[in-house]
Amino acid sequence: MGHFLSLFFFAFLQSFFLVNGNNDNLTHPPLVPINRDLYHSSGDLMEMINGLVHRHPDKLTMETIKSINKGYQAEISVITYCRGRKDNDDSSKFRILLSFGQHGRELISTELAFRILSILSEEQFLPNVDSASLNSTLDKLVIKIVPMENLNGRKIVEAGDLCERRNGRGVDLNRNWSVDWGKKEKDYDPYEENPGTGPFSEPETQIMRKLAISFDPHVWVNVHSGMEALFMPYDHRNTTPDGVSSHQMKLLLEEVKRLHCQNRCMTGSGGGSVGYLAHGTATDYMYDIIRVPMAFTFEIYGDGAASSKDCFKMFNPTDLTTFNRVLNDWSAAFFTIFKLGPQQLGEVHSKVYVPNRDTEESIDEYLNGYLMQRSSRHGKKMEVLDVGLQEMRTYFRLFLLSSVLLLFMFCSRIAKSKSSRSVLPAMPL
């Protein structure tokens, strides 16, 4: 009888765990993998972009910039759009710099880069857009597009780590810039926000800074996914900047929202709208240090109902209809930026354009060579000053910490010395 009861109890436990296991599977469905029918691999995407450049040499050029730091190497491809390739006339044109794929898991952003390049090369077309008007707008522009800023991180995602946003050695490239670098909020997550060992410690960020300084754009847009939003500075504060430039950015974002977001998009400062502050971001650096008049971060898609572990679904459309809607809506939004940006800023100020060259250099070579020779458009060594201030802050913190430790040791020594002395009786008078 006892043996029978034992067998019955064992069978009951097996049934219990089996049922609960099945319920758990129903509650937590399997994670969505990359949809290979919709999304190109990083290699295929860059090959297709290279094909566009090869077929349209009158409009597109491509360069690859390399950098290495402590054995970690990165390279970034930059595609320049300029009708007629009138390189000697670039300084009189309105300049726009766009970056996609800064976080590896956000595949939809790199697909948008390819769609925009296809439209610029006239292999695809925007619906309901007059081609003569579009060509008139594009004649006045030089556009540089970085279709995949974080190639090393993207390869990690393609290998199966669908939640990876950092670069090939675990640094978040959108926390590695120098404006308010290294500050950590109470909910800081090193997996999500590791800022690196110092400002510009990463080759990818070094390359992007060099590109921004030499190109000196009027408009910068950093393209991400995770929600639908149109953000302007600041990310490290919950306020927007003061002044005319801030007002112009707000007007432009409101118009883009009205025309292309169907009022779905959140607008305002990144720090004031998204619910948390981000320190060391590219957009804050572009606005504060490079002095880009219009600096934005666009978030082009997000599935708020997806599990936080289901990263491909959270950051990327998984069906063809949504995929096409996102690319169509945001392609049109960028061409609105191309048209309205120059109008909002008015007269284009004369700026010197310095074309990039393919280069491979260490961070030390960059800081000691190229960086020391560059000046801001105001004639000030803003880069050198910025890095110098970061170094001074670091040394000052170390000095304060050392001083506190020395003071503590000194006080402890005095207290110990006093307690060890023998107490002598008082002498009578």
Residue 57 has pLDDT above 80, yes or no: yes
Q: Residue 273: its pLDDT value, please?
A: 83
* Residues labelled catalytic: 299
CA-to-CA separations, 34 to 28, 45, 171, 207, 311, in angstroms, rounded: 18, 15, 23, 29, 10
In order of 112, 207, 214, 353, the CA distances from 356 in angstroms are: 24, 10, 7, 9
How does residue 180 score in pLDDT terms, banded at 50, 70 and 90? very high
379 vs 328, more confident: 328
Better pLDDT: 85 or 66: 66
Which residue is associated with the tokens 């995602």?
Answer: 157
For the cut 90, the answer to whether the pLDDT of residue 258 exceeds it is yes
User: Side chain identity at 57, as an amino acid letter?
Assistant: P
- Beta-carbon count within 10 A of 161 CB: 14
Determine if the pTM surpasses 0.85. Answer: no
pLDDT at 390: 52
pLDDT tens digit sequence for 212-246: 999 999 999 999 999 999 999 999 999 999 999 89
Q: Which residues contact 402 (CB under 8 A, 6 or more apart)?
A: none
